[in-house]
Structure 1
Amino acid sequence: MRWEELGDQPCSMSRTLAVVGDRWTLLILRDCFLGVRRFDAFERRIGLTRHLLADRLKKLVEHEVLVKVPYQQKPLREEYRLTDKGLALHPVILSLVSWGDTWMADERGAPIEHYHKGCGQRMKPVMVCSECAEPVGARDIEARPAAAFGEDAQRLVAG
């Protein structure tokens, strides 16, 4: 399968990767969640060429993960803001950060600590069941093919 064909696959992971599946896009999203909104700030923080940065931002806007909002009229200047669709990626980004904090950190530990505004405590992301609120891990979940996808989904589940 070719990279350009990922978005056409009957697989949610493939479709997601078609939008956010490269390292530069993930770093852009990381910075969005840290409050970065302007092109020059992304360029300065990530170190990506203007052409590649413009390409990644355009794709995120096309897929309605980000929206361009004017912050100055003369001359027109726009910044990038997360949409609801983009905000829904927060658990993904936070989980990747947490994985990196656990498995990739050096002796100093995590470079950024996350605090829950509600209770003020340092926190780590935990996945819970939407029905019973019990924490779940990889061994606690069973994947079943959705009937509407027939054999396509069966192949994904069967591995």
Structure 2
Amino acid sequence: MDINTIPKSPGIYMMKDYQGNIIYVGKSKSLKDRVKSYFINSNNHSRKIKRMIKNIDDISIITTDTELDALILECEKIHEIRPMYNTLMKKYENYRYIKIDKEKLIIDVVSYIKDDRSIYFGPYSMDKKLEEIKMIIIDLFNLPNCKKI
């Protein structure tokens, strides 16, 4: 893929090796700027990134409407594909999300994203702080605070 043809819109990029295997999935609010950053000023990159760049043969992109959509799609793709260079999110089950059910106006902390009409924020790795954040949001927006029995 020619980097100059990549749009400046939000979305995800999937870097592939010469065998077509996806080795890295990333997201950005400006795909063109983010992908380009891998190939300029490479002296500032870590050894891991330099090694990954040497293995890139092709790049696929998927544009999204918003940066949040890109984040959710990135998480789904990493969970599905488990690319070798996405080390921070390999333990996908350790991440949590703040879920807001728009119909019931209930906020909760969950460990997965469902295809429902709720709004999800995350992923976050700070379990203890998430409950605190949840209570702040409930208080701030005067939402019901239903406890599960």
Alignment TM-score, normalising by the size of structure 1: 0.28
Query: Greater strand percent: which structure?
Result: 2
Alignment TM-score, normalising by the size of structure 2: 0.29
Larger relative CO (CA 8 A, sep 6+): 1 or 2?
2
Query: Greater helix percent: which structure?
Result: 1
